[in-house]
Copies of this chain bind each other. A is one copy, B any other.
Amino acid sequence: MSQHDEFIRRCYELAVSAANKGNHPFGAVLVHNGRIIVEAENTVTTGDDQTRHAELNLVVEAQRAYPLSVLHESILYSSTAPCAMCAAAMWSSGIRKVVYGVAYETFANMIPGKYRYMPIEELYERLGTPLESVRGVLEEEGVKVYDHWPEP
């Protein structure tokens, strides 16, 4: 079992928890020195706010609670590859390490319509900031989380 599995599984739990409340099934955690210090869920529907993705909620809470030095050292785990909005918010907040479950291509193939995206790796590179990223952790389990997607 990879060292990342435990934290990605927690993201999947949070994603299911979000769906059970009527939100989109996405979750994220922030890990510092091997310990979860922030957890966040998607709150788009319950918050009536289309920007409230799990990662954006996480960034807000992390910046309230911790200094830049902690954010620099932490790893953001996410159930699915982050969108460009969240990736840019993570970049601004000082996060430099990311691990995600379902990869961009996989997500794009799972949902109806054409899903266009700019990968976080490309955004950080464009902004001249090194990013450590690991993708596709427990991806098959992550895809099953979408079964919980609430009816529109």
Chain A interfacial positions (CB closer than 8 Å to B): 48-51, 56, 59-60, 63-64, 83-85, 87-89, 91-93, 116-118, 123, 126-129
Contacts and interface: CB of A to CB of B under 8 A. Distances in A.
Contacts of A126: 118
A123 B49 CA distance: 22
Contact of A85 (B63, B88, B116): B88
Contact of A84 (B50, B127, B128): B127
Contacts of A123: 84, 118
Contacts of A63: 49-50
Q: Count this chain's copies in the assembly.
A: 2
Given A85-B85, A116-B127, A118-B127, A93 B59 contact: no
A129 B115 CA distance: 12
SS class of chain A's interface: helix, strand, loop or mixed? helix
Contacts of A128: 116
Nearest to A118: B126
A78 to B, nearest CB: 16
A54 B127 CA distance: 22
Contacts of A48: 64
A59 B51 contact: yes
A50 B48 CA distance: 19
Interface centre among A51, A92, A127 (most CB of B within 10 A): A51
